[in-house]
C-alpha cells in the first residue's frame, strides 16, 4: 500500500478491484482539515475545563462522604441505645418485679462504652458521646416502658467554613424504648 505525505497529512492509496481510492488521514488519526496547533488548543481547553470543574467535584465528593459518615454514626448511636435498653430490661437478676430495671449507671455505661463496668482505660464507642448525653426514663406503673435517649454532636471532617468561624457541627437526637412487662 503506497503512502505519500503532504502538508502534515498522510495520503494512503488503496487499490480496489478496478479503481484506486484515496483516503486522507491526519497525523493524529483525525480526518483531514485539522492541524497540530488546533489539536493542542483543544487539549489545553480540556485541561482548563478540568481545572475549573475539579474543586466542585472534590467538594461534592467530600459532601457525599460526610453525609454517609453522619448516617453511619446516627446508626451507631441507635444501636448503642438499643443495646442499653435491652440490658436495662434483661439484666434484672434477683428481682421478681417485672417493672424493675438494671442500675442506671450500668445502663449508661453499656450505651457509651459497650460494657456495664468500665476501667480507667475504657474508651467510648463514639467520640462525642458521653455519659451526660444519655438520658434514662424509668418505667412507670402505667407505661411499663424503659426509654433511653441520647443527644449526639456530629463533627464533620471540615468542622468550620473556610475564612469564617461558623461551625458545621450539628446535634441529632435518638431514642429507643422497650417494654419491661407484658
Render pLDDT for 134-158 as a digit per residue (tens, 0 to 9).
999 988 878 889 999 999 999 998 8
Grid cell digits, residue 22 = 484515496
Report d(CA 83, CA 99) in Å as an integer.
18
Q: Could you tell me if residue 122 is inside a domain?
A: yes
167 contacts 160 by C-beta, under 8 angstroms: yes
Q: Could you tell me if residue 83 is inside a domain?
A: yes
pLDDT at 27: 47
Report d(CA 152, CA 174) in Å as an integer.
8
152 contacts 181 by C-beta, under 8 angstroms: no
Q: Could you tell me if residue 102 is inside a domain?
A: yes
Nearest to 145 by CA among 180, 98, 95, 175: 180
Domain that holds residue 135: 44-179
Q: Could you tell me if residue 1 is inside a domain?
A: no
Tell me which of 41-50, 92-101, 150-159 is least confident: 92-101
Report d(CA 76, CA 44) in Å as an integer.
48
Q: How many domains does the chain have?
A: 1
Report d(CA 41, CA 109) in Å as an integer.
65
Grid cell digits, residue 52 = 475549573
Report d(CA 31, CA 24) in Å as an integer.
7
Q: Could you tell me if residue 15 is inside a domain?
A: no
User: pLDDT higher for 115 or 18?
Assistant: 115
Q: In this model, does residue 2 exceed pLDDT 70?
A: no
Amino acid at each position: 500500500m503506497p503512502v505519500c505525505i503532504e502538508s502534515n497529512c498522510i495520503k494512503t492509496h488503496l487499490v480496489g478491484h478496478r479503481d484506486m481510492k484515496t483516503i486522507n488521514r491526519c497525523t493524529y488519526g483525525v480526518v483531514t482539515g485539522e492541524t497540530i496547533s488546533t489539536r493542542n488548543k483543544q487539549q489545553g481547553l480540556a485541561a482548563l475545563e478540568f481545572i475549573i470543574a475539579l474543586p466542585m467535584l472534590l467538594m461534592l465528593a467530600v459532601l457525599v462522604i460526610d453525609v454517609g459518615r453522619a448516617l453511619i454514626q446516627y446508626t451507631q448511636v441507635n444501636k448503642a441505645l438499643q443495646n442499653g435498653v435491652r440490658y436495662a430490661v434483661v439484666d434484672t437478676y434477683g428481682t421478681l418485679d417485672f417493672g424493675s430495671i438494671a442500675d442506671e449507671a450500668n445502663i449508661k455505661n453499656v450505651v457509651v462504652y459497650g460494657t456495664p463496668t468500665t476501667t480507667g482505660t475504657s474508651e467510648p464507642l463514639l467520640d462525642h458521646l458521653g455519659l451526660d448525653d444519655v438520658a434514662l426514663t424509668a418505667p412507670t406503673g402505667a407505661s411499663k416502658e424503659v426509654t433511653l435517649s441520647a443527644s449526639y454532636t456530629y463533627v464533620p471532617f471540615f468542622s468550620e467554613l473556610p475564612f469564617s468561624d461558623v461551625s458545621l457541627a450539628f446535634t441529632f437526637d435518638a431514642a429507643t424504648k422497650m417494654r419491661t412487662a407484658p
